Amino acid sequence: MSAPMGDGIGIANLPNQRHKIVAKRGAHFTIMVVGESGLGKTTLINTLFSTELSPSKSYHKRHTKLLDKLTEVEIIKAELEEKAFKVKLTVIDTPGFGDYVNNRDSWSPIVDFIDDQHEAYMRQEQQPQRHEKTDLRVHACLYFIRPTGHTLKPLDIEIMKRLGTRVNLIPVVAKADTLTQNDLFVFKQRVREVIAAQGIRIYTPPVDASAEEEAEHAKMLIEAIPFSIIGSTEDVKTPDGRITKGREYLWGVAEVENENHCDFKKLRQLLIRTHMLDLISTTEENHYENYRQQQMETRKFGEPKVKKLDNPKFREEEEQLRKKFTDQVKAEEARFRQWEQHLIAERDRLNKDLEMAHSAIKQLEVELDNLGAGGYGGTGSRGQRR
Ligand SMILES: Nc1nc2c(ncn2[C@@H]2O[C@H](COP(=O)(O)OP(=O)(O)OP(=O)(O)O)[C@@H](O)[C@H]2O)c(=O)[nH]1
Ligand SMILES: [Mg+2]
């Protein structure tokens, strides 16, 4: 029993059907960028817009949204259209978190934001009238990795683990132009190893063995993960006379769209051309469905979600714990300082003793020499005189 082919029904045509449904509705596609401060998140968004989305066809609208007292995200909207296939593209630019140990609070609003969009969508679905939902569920989350040349930091691992279970996580190596080709190759390899060893969930393009060309393309994309990125909106002139987006150096030009320099083109292809539908449907079928089921298990229908950090009791507890910890550290520090003072005093005392012993020895030696010069002879006689 083979599935009917060619008439638009059947498993073989599933991606096609999905395409049609999404095309009819007009897709909402939301990308989010996350990572430490200064890694080029905003620059990459601007690069995407300046290379792909021509201003005549798309409109930009930037507005900011406050997540909590400290965190503000910027939301950029544009409309893409390709062969009657309309996409409302939204890019969410988050402020980078600092490079500190205790910066947990600076990224938890980002994780909360993702959950909140699932929550908002779920609540709208529960309304009797379900048309025209506002939908900011994140379909692709680009996580920026600092190009250290070493490996992922513990903070990266912690955040990526949390993101990976909530969204389609796409790791990218920032500022690829700051590493040599060889260092970049080794670095990407190490990042892949850590991702696997730590069980971090990342988005992997599906490989459909029945469609050879697509499968090859997917494999090529998978091999490029984590995508290395060069961001720039500047037009520069290459040594061979081309004008292109890139970054100019004494040694030449790092080109954004040159596949020998970075994976920007592959990433853009994945996001805007080949895997947008897969990113949308996996968000719907896996991530949103996970969220919905989890919430259904832990609360009654229609009951509001309890946010851990919003709960005054938790906040108070956290504050108390933090204070206790800080006090303990302070006390320990004072104790160490005292101990150090004591050691220094002890060392000085010993030094002084040593000096005194030295001068006493010197004195004795002088006396001995004097005695020797007085005619009582060599070492043998010294022993006898004692
Ligand atoms: N070498 C190099 N520099 C880059 C690249 N992308 C951005 N930069 C530079 O890095 C600096 C920070 O870039 P942003 O785009 O503001 O970084 P961000 O991640 O948005 O920073 P926050 O908003 O503070 O989190 C700027 O001076 C950029 O010109 C890149 O690919 N390579
Ligand atoms: Mg920025």
Indicate if the pLDDT at residue 377 is higher than 60. no
Name the average pLDDT for the chain: 80
Q: List ligand 1's pocket residues with C-beta within 6 A.
A: 37-43, 95-96, 175, 177-178, 229-231, 247
Nearest residue (CA) to ligand 1, atom 14: 40
* H helix or E strand, kind and range, residue 31: strand 27-35
Q: Quick one: the chain helix, strand, coil %, rounded to 5?
A: 50, 15, 30
Among 96-100, 176-180, 295-299, the range scoring the smallest mean pLDDT is 96-100
Altogether, the residues listed in the chain come to a count of 386
pLDDT tens digits along 317-333: 777 787 787 788 888 88
Burial class (CB in 10 A: 0-12, 13-18, 19+), 98: middle
Nearest residue (CA) to ligand 1, atom 32: 175
Nearest-CA neighbor of 35 among 90, 115, 76, 92?
Answer: 92
Specify the CATH number of the domain 11-310: 3.40.50.300
- For the chain, domain boundaries: 11-310, 311-386
Question: Residue 372 contacts by C-beta under 8 Å, 6 or more apart in sequence?
Answer: 378
pLDDT tens digits along 119-174: 888 888 777 765 666 778 899 999 999 999 999 998 899 899 999 999 999 999 99
Query: Measured at the alpha carbon of residue 229, what is the angle toward residues 226 and 232, in degrees to the nearest 5?
Result: 165
Share of the chain above pLDDT 70, in %: 75
Share of the chain above pLDDT 90, in %: 37
pLDDT tens digits along 280-310: 889 988 888 888 888 877 766 556 665 555 5
Q: What's the confidence (pLDDT) of residue 5?
A: 38
Query: Measured at the alpha carbon of residue 9, what is the angle toward residues 4 and 10, in degrees to the nearest 5?
Result: 65
Ligand 1 atom at minimum distance from 36 CA = 25
Structure tokens at 165: 């279970």
